[in-house]
Amino acid sequence: MNLTAHLDELSFDDAEGFRQVVSCLKAWPDAAVSEGFAARVMAAVDAEQARDEQPSRFRFPFPFRRVAAAAALIALLVLAGLYFGKGTVASRPASARDDLGWLASVQDPDSGFWLPESHGGSPAYRPALTALAMLALAEEPDPNRFSSQIQQACRALAESQLPSGAFGGEGRAECYNHAITTFALASLSSRCPEVQPILVRAVRFIDRSQSAAGGWDYLQGSDGNTALTAWNLRALARAKELGLAEAHRPFCKGLRWLRRTVRTEGAVAYHENSPVSRSESLQALTASALLDASRDFPELEALGRTIAAKLSASESADEGLDCYRDYAKFLAFSAAGDSSRAKAVGNRLRTHPVQDLHDDAWGCVGGYLYARSLTALAQSR
């Protein structure tokens, strides 16, 4: 429903008032809709109309009453998520550098975190989404431009670490929070050297969480799943580069498990003993992990390239928006040295209208914050 499409049908004063109300509402922070909100708004509108029909000493001019009614309607639609969609609405930036500027501007100045709940996402994934935003800012060519934001985020994540070594959340949220945050802190340790002891505890948590078979999963008793195993391998690979001895054993064991999920001709399964998956996200994450590991284990390179070659750089007509899938493809193509296809995927991410983000496969988890972070990261090489 595009309310602004009918502004030409209003008088100049009503249309201008409408635009001003929209501008004010866009600037408001997100708020949850309380129970019975719609009924209360409509009751207030009905009451105002009834009062207009009674004699009174003073009545607002008719155009103003129309604007007030429009304002009430827009407020209802905004808060219900029907007009502006999920989270904060902003125009599509012209470049990755603009994405970075936006990310820096919305970091919470008090906590140092990025707050996904303010941008259409879930607060359960705050550590992981903070880590992704921090990684995106680190791609800025000028190392001083976002230095303070990165260091503040590093401190916030380090201080959030639990005694167990994890970075918060439960179940699936804990698994992704931990793997992505550990990867980010290890990747940026040279800019935040105080995180070294934090990383040791984080790697030990990954080690304890590994299944006997060698994978990682959300549920106790499972041998592992491809997506979560690939993310933990990314984290362990960065930890190994820093010389953390604790990362070596779970890294090698995890690679053996991931290798067993690959079927003939490069197809990938979600679990070791499950049928082949049609998910390009899984294929891309597997290819990326194997290609990155080929620096230590050259025999994995051919297999990683075979999987990456099966991925499409274009988007078919029946595919929906999926920033996570496209970012995984970008990683796979980059690891394979296929810069043209990596660039094609990154450019496609940029072309999706902001209004489509509520259709993203993981939009309910990360919202606009996640989409902007992954889009910026997919422009970084």
Query: pLDDT tens-digit profile of 41-96?
Result: 555 555 555 544 444 444 444 444 554 555 544 444 444 443 333 444 444 444 54
Which two three-digit tokens encode residue 20? 């001003």
- pLDDT (tens digit per residue) in 328-366: 999 999 999 999 999 999 888 887 655 556 678 788 888
Q: Give the per-residue pLDDT at 319.
A: 67
Q: Would you state the pLDDT for residue 33?
A: 46
Q: Which amino acid is at 89?
A: V
Under the banding of pLDDT at 50, 70 and 90, the label for residue 314 is: confident
The mean predicted confidence, pLDDT, of the chain is: 81
Separation CA 45–CA 24 (nearest Å): 20
pLDDT at residue number 90: 45
Average pLDDT over residues 285-296: 96
- The count of other CB atoms within 10 Å of the CB of residue 62 is 10
Give the position of tokens 């690891």.
Answer: 335
Residue 367: its pLDDT value, please? 86
CB proximity list for 257: less than 8 A, separation 6 or greater: 211, 213, 214, 215, 223, 224, 229, 272
> Which tokens hold the place of 343?
């660039």
306-332 average pLDDT score: 86
The string of pLDDT tens digits covering residues 127-160 is: 999 999 999 999 999 999 999 999 999 999 999 9
| 205-212: long-range contacts, CB 8 A cutoff, minimum separation 24 | 205/164, 205/165, 205/166, 205/178, 206/178, 206/179, 206/182, 206/232, 206/235, 206/236, 206/247, 206/250, 207/246, 207/249, 207/250, 208/165, 209/175, 209/178, 210/250, 210/253, 210/254, 211/257
Q: Please, what are the domains in the chain?
A: 3-80 (no CATH), 96-377 (1.50.10.20)
Q: Assign 26 a pLDDT band (cuts: 50, 70, 90).
A: very low
**More confident site: 125 or 322:** 125
* pLDDT given for residue 363 in this prediction: 81
Q: What is the pLDDT of residue 73?
A: 47
Instruction: Tell me what pLDDT residue 318 has.
Output: 57
**Band of residue 250 on the pLDDT scale cut at 50, 70, 90:** very high
Main-chain phi, psi angles of 90, to 5 degrees: -145, 160
CA–CA dist 281, 265 (Å, integer): 17
- Model pLDDT, residue 150: 97
Residue 185 has pLDDT above 60, yes or no: yes
Bigger pLDDT: 264 vs 113: 113
Of the CA atoms within 13 Å of residue 210, those in its CB half-sphere come to 28
pLDDT for residue 18: 56
Per-residue pLDDT band for 289 (boundaries 50, 70, 90) equals: very high
Measured in whole angstroms, the distance separating CA 225 from the mean position of its chain's CA atoms is: 20
**Distances from the Cα of 98 to the Cαs of 137, 152, 185, 350, 379, in angstroms?**
11, 21, 24, 12, 11
Phi, psi (5° rounding) for residue 262? Answer: -85, 125
The per-residue pLDDT for 356 is 58
* pLDDT given at position 9: 45
pLDDT at 7 over 80: no
**pLDDT of residue 32 exceeding 70:** no
Residues 6+ apart with CB under 8 A from 355: 85, 89
| 139: DSSP letter | T
pTM confidence score: 0.75
Averaging pLDDT over each range in 5-14, 20-29, 369-378, which range is the top one? 369-378
Can you tell me the mean pLDDT for 311-331? 83
Half-sphere exposure of 30 (CA within 13 A, CB side): 20
Cα torsion angle, 331, 288, 142, 196, sign = positive
